[in-house]
Structure 1
């Protein structure tokens, strides 16, 4: 079972800074978490994945878990070093605080598995797992999917995701039920005038049209002119 946790503004402690850490962190980016890394050294590509993230790199060599207790409580703790005994001690300490825990070389002792994750332009996230049978193949398949995504997900799709995200928040203030909001967002997605503006990369104009449609939709009589807005 793949579960997507809400880690917005949650503190996540990652022990390790090597190649494996760099791969695992891709599943944590783009979600507004507070990321704290502790390691003796950090992979050169790690910070490339952390652009626009709230993160802290602490250069320190750990021999046991006593040092990390200063960072508790944490929502989640990941042990990604190449020292299995150190990873186990970190996980034991974190478990005592009821944090979610993950050890890169100890899946049976972890609270969750860590699938190969594709983060496409911070708008689409795909998780790929072989249920622990072959992390190597999961990585290979992820790389194949990454190269194919630009042909499958267009810039128009990404703009539509952005618009839906922004207008959904606005809709929560005027449409009380989830069913109403779902119906409205479906109407928004199918509106030809809005689609035209997005296809021309006129996001602000599309957003203004969407807000106008929302104002009409939220009227007590629900008169929306079949969702049509003059182009």
Structure 2
């Protein structure tokens, strides 16, 4: 099962401060989470990220699992070159009901990393081989990305934003999920909204949606 984790304002700990850790940091940077990196000898790029206050860096060697109790992370990523340490971190995290991932052992991890296609910071498409072959996931991503970029229009992106606004408004006035769903489907085919969208009149679309929600029966 593929699940999109919402990491906003949550704490993520990365153990290790080399190139593998840097890859994980880059994937997390846009997620709005607090990133704590623990490693004895951080590479220069990780040090720079710390200096820019993008991460919290702890220059220390892991000698026990007490850091899990101290920081209580939502997710811990073990990316050291010591496989036995990575496994110890994963196993301890599981006992504490903390999500865990070992870079060198996806099979023992709670999550798998997807090869992500990001379309205009609105649509995310994930390609996964369930840890079997990250290289093939990247290859398939490169084949798929151009096709998606070509076929998903700017209007599709705007419709997503309109639907998000409509969902928020509908929750204020339409009591049941079934009725809200019907309303959102009807909105997608509404001629007034389509015409306003063609003309780029987004404020007018919001006003129309507010009226439609209040009049919904």
- Shorter-chain TM-score range: 0.7 to 0.9
Q: Give the unaligned 5+ runs of structure 2.
A: none
d(CA) in 1 for partners of 2:168, 2:184: 11
* 1:149 match: secondary structure: helix
Shift of 1:15: 3.0
Q: Does 1:175 align with 2:174?
A: yes
Query: 1:25-44 maps to which residues of 2 (within 5 A)?
Result: 28=28, 33-38=32-37, 39=39, 40-41=42-43, 43=45
Asked whether the equivalents of residues 107 and 131 of structure 2 are also in contact (C-alpha less than 8 Å), the reply is: no
Question: Which deviates the most, 143-152 or 207-216?
Answer: 143-152
Shift of 1:65: 4.8
Give TM-score, length-normalised by structure 1. 0.75
Which of the two has greater helix per residue?
A: 2
Query: 1:120-139 maps to which residues of 2 (within 5 A)?
Result: 120-139=119-138
TM-align CA RMSD: 3.0
Shift of 1:182: 0.6
Shift of 1:171: 1.0
Aligned CA distance change for structure 1 residues 56 and 29 (closer, same or farther; 3 Å): closer
* 1:138 match: secondary structure: helix
Partner of 2:198: 199
How many residue pairs get matched? 210
Deviation readout 1:42-70 (Å, 9 max, x if unpaired): 648x97xxxxxx95342525344547336
* 2:55 match: secondary structure: strand
Partner of 2:4: 4
Q: Give the unaligned 5+ runs of structure 1.
A: 48-53, 223-231
Partner of 1:92: 91
d(CA) in 1 for partners of 2:199, 2:44: 42
